[in-house]
Amino acid sequence: MRRILFTLPLLAVLSGCIDRPAPSKQQPSRTATRPRPAPPSADLRQCLATLSAQQAVFTLVEDRWYGHACSTVGTVKLAALNTDSATITVTGLGPVTCATSTKFAGWARYGVDRAAQQILGSRLVKIETFGSYSCRNVAGTARRSGHASANAIDVSGFVLGDGRRITVLGDWNGGTPAERRFLRVVHDSACKRFGTTLGPQYNAAHENHFHLEADGASFCR
């Protein structure tokens, strides 16, 4: 019995050395890190400062290139525009270039809101859009649209503080005389701020929205 008891610990020790691979030396794990985005250029910083001074509510969007001449570079995401005594919300927007955003903010505050008060007797509280960035061509051509670089906004309607909703499709020709006048005044105001402004008078593709683009052109229809 003593011999058996003596051999049991020995077998236990030996069993610990049999069929057990030596522990491998693992390399410390490395967490993959994304490269930091490049800081905004001097021109973009100036533009962002201007947009902030216009009391716009926005966030800077990381630059992206999608190929096929489509990109969102130097863009922001607009959430709202503050006026002297109210806030105008903006719906449907994706990334928009800062240059277009500053013109849009000025147009909303001094063109649309003031026209709404003077012509319709109520403040502007919301601008409805069909969006901004879209990788596509100008309809019927092989030329890239301003939307392909997030440099254009399609505005479809406006909501007033008294609850009225004015749409380009429904009220450009079908609204009251005051509503029709309001839409034409804000369209003309956009022509003074943006390079390319298109609306229902241009073609059927724009019967339901205003196309606003800061492209340095001078084309108003």
Per-residue confidence of the chain (221 residues) as pLDDT tens digits? 444 333 333 333 333 333 334 444 444 434 344 445 566 788 899 999 999 999 899 999 998 898 888 989 999 999 999 887 789 999 999 999 999 999 999 999 999 999 999 999 999 999 999 999 889 888 777 789 899 999 999 999 999 999 999 999 999 999 999 999 999 999 999 999 999 999 998 888 899 999 999 988 888 99
The CA distance from 14 to 134, in Å, is 71
Q: Which pLDDT does position 21 carry in this prediction?
A: 40
Q: Report phi then psi at 77, rounded to 5.
A: -110, 110
Contacts of 170 (CB under 8 A, 6+ apart): none
Going through the chain in order, the beta strands assigned E by DSSP cover 56-60, 64-67, 70-72, 75-82, 87-91, 96-97, 124-131, 152-160, 165-167, 196-198, 210-213, 219-220
Map tokens 């901004």 to a residue: 132
The CA distance from 47 to 101, in Å, is 9
The CA distance from 203 to 146, in Å, is 17
Q: Which pLDDT does position 39 carry in this prediction?
A: 66
The angle at the Cα of 168, spanning 164 to 169, to the nearest 5 degrees, equals: 105
